[in-house]
Chain A
Amino acid sequence: MNKEIVSIIQKDQLYNLMLKGERADGRAFDETREIKIETGVIEKAEGSASVEIGDTKIIAGVKISPGTPFPDTPDVGVIITSLELIPLASPEFESGPPREKAVELARVTDRGIRESGAIDLKKLCIIEGEKVWMIFIDIHVLDDGGNIMDAAALGSIAALLTATIPAERYGLGEDAPLPMRDIPVSVTAVDIGGGILFDPSLQEERVANTKLTVIPNQEGAIVGMQKSGNGSLSPDQINHIVEVACKKAQDIREKFLEI
C-alpha cells in the first residue's frame, strides 16, 4: 500500500505526457495492454485460468464442492470469491490476512459475477435447504504490473467458463459444465490530471488519484461499478469512462471469452 513512493519527477513526466496526449508506454489513452488468457492451467482445480495484462499476472482457480446453502437463500448455489495479494507479487504486499485493498478487489470481482447473473445459481441446488454446489473462486496475484482489478475479473470469469461441476466424485450424477448465462468484463480507468487513461500500468496507477472500474455485461448494460482512490471525478468523466468501458468490454469478450 506504499503509494507514496512515487517520485515527483515521475508524476510530472506522466502528467506532461498526458497533456501531449501520450502515455509512457506509447499506448493511446483507451488502449489496453496485450492480454493473454490460458485456461485449464491447474488440473486439480475444477476450473482455472491464468491471465496476463502487460506485466500483470494472476491465476484464478475455481473449486466446486457440495455444501449447505445460506438459510435465507435455501435453493441457490453459493459463490465465495477471495483474492490474495501475496508477497511474491510485489515488495509492497505483505503476508497475513487480506487488507482492504485485497478485500475491495475480491468484492468488486464478486460483484461483477454475482450481479450479472453470470452463473445460474438456481441450477446449483441439489437438495433445497440442505445441499447446493458451492463455488469458490480464488485469485492469486503473481505479479503486480498495475490494473490487478481487470485481470482478476477476467481470470475468474475465464476460469468459471471452463469449470466442471465434479458431480461424479460426490456421487451426485454426471459431471457437467457450470450453467453460465453471462460474461461480465471489468474495465478500469484512472484519472491523471484530468486525462482518462484506460488499463493503467503500475506507474500510472500509483500516480493517479482516482480509479473507476466499470463492469458491463453481454448486452452492454452495467452490472457493477467501483470508484477507488482519494480523488474525485466529474460526471462528464464518469460518463466518458462508462461509454468507452462498454465498448472495450465487448471487444475483450469477443476476442477472448466467447464460449
Chain B
Amino acid sequence: MADKPEKFIDENGIRSDGRRANEIRDVKIEVGVLSRADGSCYLEFGKNKVMAAVYGPREVHPRHQQKSNRAIVRYKYNMASFSVEDRKRPGPDRRSIEVSKVSREALEDQIFTEYFPKSAIDVFVEVLQADAGTRTAALNAASVALADAGIPMRSLVSACAVGKVDDTLVLDLNKDEDNYGQADMPIAMTPDGKITLLQMDGHLTQEEFKQGLEMAQEGCRQVYEMQRKALMDYYSKKTEVLSTEVTAAEDVKGDAPEEPEDVTQVEVLEDTEDTKKIDDTNETGDTRETEGTKETGDTEETEDTVKAGDVEELEDSGEEVPDTGENADETDGQMDESEEEISNE
C-alpha cells in the first residue's frame, strides 16, 4: 500500500489523480451484461469494477420471509477476495452486512414493492475490484440493474461520496484520499433530491458538512445523467435491432426474431465461445492426445498427459473471460465439471 502522500492537492488545485476538487472519476456503465439475470449492470467508477444482478420479482425462499402486502427487497453486497490488496476472506463480514443493509434501505422505498406481494426482489452486487467508494459504485450499478430488470421504480438512485483531504472538501475520494483523508461521507439520492443513504465518518465541521452535502448532491446528479444515458442508449439500440430483425424476418420467412446479437455482446458471446472452447478441448483434445501417445502404449501416462494438457488449456481459456464475477464463477463450474469428466474416464 502506498504511504500517505505529503499533499493531496497541489498548488493548482489538482488532486493526485489529476482531478479537481469537485470532479468525479470516469464512469463506465454497461447495461444487460448477464444472460441469466433479469437485469444486470457492469459499472466502473474510476478503478472500481462492480457487477450487479437483479433477480425477481420471484418466489420467496425461505417462505416465512414473505410479506402478504408487498415484495421484500434483498440486497447482497459482496467483495471478491481478490478485489483488494490483501486477500479478503470470502463471505460476509460485519462491514458488508452493514453496507448491504444501508444500500437496501436506500433502494427499497424507490421500488413499487406493493405491486408484487409475496415475492422477493433480489439484488446481488459483486465488487470485483475495489478502489474506494465501492458502496456508492455498487448502489449505482444496482439501481441501473433494477431498471434493466423492468422493476417499476419511483426513480433511479444515484450515489456519490464527498470527503475531506488537506482541510479541503473533495468529491468522490480515491483510494489514498480515503485511506488517509480526514472524512468520508457517502450519500445516495433520487433525482428529485430525496436523500436515501447518508453515512459519515471522520471529521467535518457543521459548515463543511453543509457544503459537502451540496457537493455530493451535485455528484449524484452527474451520476444520474450517466445512468440514465446508459439505459437510454442500451434500450434504444435494443429496440432498433429488434425492429430491423422483425422486418428482416418477416421479409424472409416470418420466423420469430432471435435475441438481438449486440444486446449482450461482450459477456454472452464470449461466454458461449468459451463454453465451446472448453467442450472442444475436452473431446477433440482428449482423443487426439490419446491417439498421439498410443505408440508408447502406456495408458496411465496417456491419461496423465490428457489431464494435464486439458487443465492447462482450460485454465488459459478461463483467463480470457472478462473479469466478471458471474462469468468467472460459471467458467469455474465448467472447469470442475470437465475435470471430473476426464478423471472419470
- Which A residues lie at the B interface, using CB under 8 A? 4, 72, 100-101, 103-104, 106-107, 111, 114-116, 209, 212, 217, 220-235, 238-239, 242-243, 246
Contacts and interface: CB of A to CB of B under 8 A. Distances in A.
Given A115-B202, A227-B195, A233-B198, A72 B101 contact: no
A239 B109 contact: no
A245 to B, nearest CB: 10
Q: Which of B108, B198, B202, B213 has the most CB of A within 10 A?
A: B198
A212 B100 contact: no
A238 B199 contact: no
B94 A243 contact: no
Interface in B141-162: none
A227 B157 CA distance: 15
B200 interface: yes
Contact of B98 (A103, A116, A222, A235): A103
B24 to A, nearest CB: 19
B195 A226 contact: no
Contacts of B97: 100, 103-104
B94 A233 contact: no
Interface string B200-218: 1111111011100110010
A222 B203 CA distance: 6
Nearest to A243: B206
Nearest to B199: A226
B206 A223 contact: no
Nearest to A115: B201
Given A72-B1, A103-B97, A107-B98, A232 B201 contact: no
Contacts of A115: 201-203
Given A232-B109, A234-B195, A239-B209, 14 more contacts: A104-B101, A115-B203, A220-B205, A221-B203, A222-B200, A223-B202, A224-B200, A225-B198, A225-B200, A226-B198, A231-B109, A232-B196, A238-B195, A243-B206
A233 B105 contact: no
Contacts of A103: 94, 97-98, 101
A214 to B, nearest CB: 8
A45 B196 CA distance: 40
A217 B190 contact: no
B213 A239 contact: yes
B97 to A, nearest CB: 5
Nearest to B111: A230
B197 interface: yes
Given A221-B206, A224-B201, A235 B193 contact: yes
A40 to B, nearest CB: 29
Given A106-B94, A220-B205, A225-B185, A235 B105 contact: no
Contacts of B109: 209, 230-232
Nearest to B200: A225
B101 A235 contact: no
Contacts of B193: 234-235
B15 interface: no
B205 A232 contact: no
A233 B217 CA distance: 13
Nearest to B69: A4
Contacts of B197: 227
B175 interface: no
A100 B97 CA distance: 6
The 5 closest A-B pairs by CB, nearest first: A225-B200, A232-B194, A227-B198, A100-B101, A232-B196
B195 A217 contact: no
Interface string B86-98: 0000000011011
A115 B213 CA distance: 19
Contacts of B196: 227, 231-232
Contacts of A232: 109, 189-190, 194-196
B238 interface: no
A235 B217 contact: yes
Contacts of B210: 239, 242
B102 interface: yes
Contacts of B105: 227-230
A227 B102 contact: yes
A246 B205 CA distance: 10
A227 B199 contact: yes
17 contacts: A72-B1, A100-B100, A106-B94, A115-B201, A115-B202, A222-B206, A225-B185, A225-B200, A225-B201, A226-B102, A226-B198, A227-B196, A232-B109, A232-B190, A238-B198, A242-B209, A242-B210
